[in-house]
Amino acid sequence: MDTPTIQHEEEVYFYEAQGITQWWVWTFAIGILVLLLSGIVAAMFLMRNMGDAAPIILLAIILMLVLTPLLILLKTFKLYIAADKDGLFIKYRYLEQDFNQLPWKQIAGAVVEPAKAGRGFSLRNSSSLGNIYNVSAAEGVLVSLRNGTQYFIGSKKAEDLRKVIVAHMGEN
């Protein structure tokens, strides 16, 4: 499943899809492809004997064939955050098959925090922020569950997400 589907779409309280938008990631990745392509062109036109250029050209073509699908994967990679009547849902496209659901009744609190340790792509556990979900947000919502578990959910609309969570936490 590539895009999230929520049972009752008319009752969606919040939705956000984050992609990898950091300029330096794309500059680096595209720069590598440009270097490989220019290496192929230089090898083809500057080397007098094509037999000498063949290994360089072959290596550059193989690297391009490996890197291009990885760039497509990076471009389509997303973090989905959604909230409906059943709770809060979080999912990384390609990394998780199902949504991680946080039912409203399990949520004890939500606070907007800067994404210090979680800035940029992150799917990990931190001692101070709990389970971190973030792709490109500079801030997020620290969600505390009744059992003491915490989730840091990076969001470009962190205050909107916090308001939805606070309005519905404890329901059902």
Residue 113 shares a structural domain with residue 161: yes
Q: d(Cα 170, Cα 129) in Å, to the nearest integer?
A: 21
Which band of pLDDT confidence, cut at 50, 70 and 90, is reported for residue 67?
confident
Residue 65 shares a structural domain with residue 129: no
CATH number at residue 141: 2.30.29.30
Q: d(Cα 110, Cα 161) in Å, to the nearest integer?
A: 9
Q: Rounded to the nearest 5 degrees, what angle is found at the Cα of 166, between the Cα atoms of 155 and 21?
A: 5
> Number of helices and strands (H, E) in the chain?
3, 9
pLDDT digit string (tens) for 103-162? 999 999 999 988 775 444 555 555 566 788 888 888 999 999 999 999 999 899 999 999
> Mean of the pLDDT values across residues 42-63?
73
Residue 93 shares a structural domain with residue 42: no
The pLDDT value recorded for residue 16 is 93
pLDDT digit string (tens) for 107-121? 999 999 887 754 445
The alpha carbon of residue 170 and the mean position of all alpha carbons in its chain are separated, in whole angstroms, by 28
Would you report the helix, strand and coil content of the chain in percent, each value rounded to 5? 40, 30, 30
In a domain, 123, yes or no: yes
Domain, as residue range, for 66: 23-76
Residue 71 shares a structural domain with residue 88: no
Residue 88 shares a structural domain with residue 147: yes
In a domain, 2, yes or no: no
Of the three residues 76, 93, 114, the one that is the final residue of a domain is 76
Domain count, the chain: 2
pTM greater than 0.75 (yes/no): no
Which residue blocks in the chain are alpha helix, DSSP H? 23-46, 50-76, 158-168
Residue 104 shares a structural domain with residue 158: yes
Helix (H, G, I), strand (E, B) or coil at 89: strand
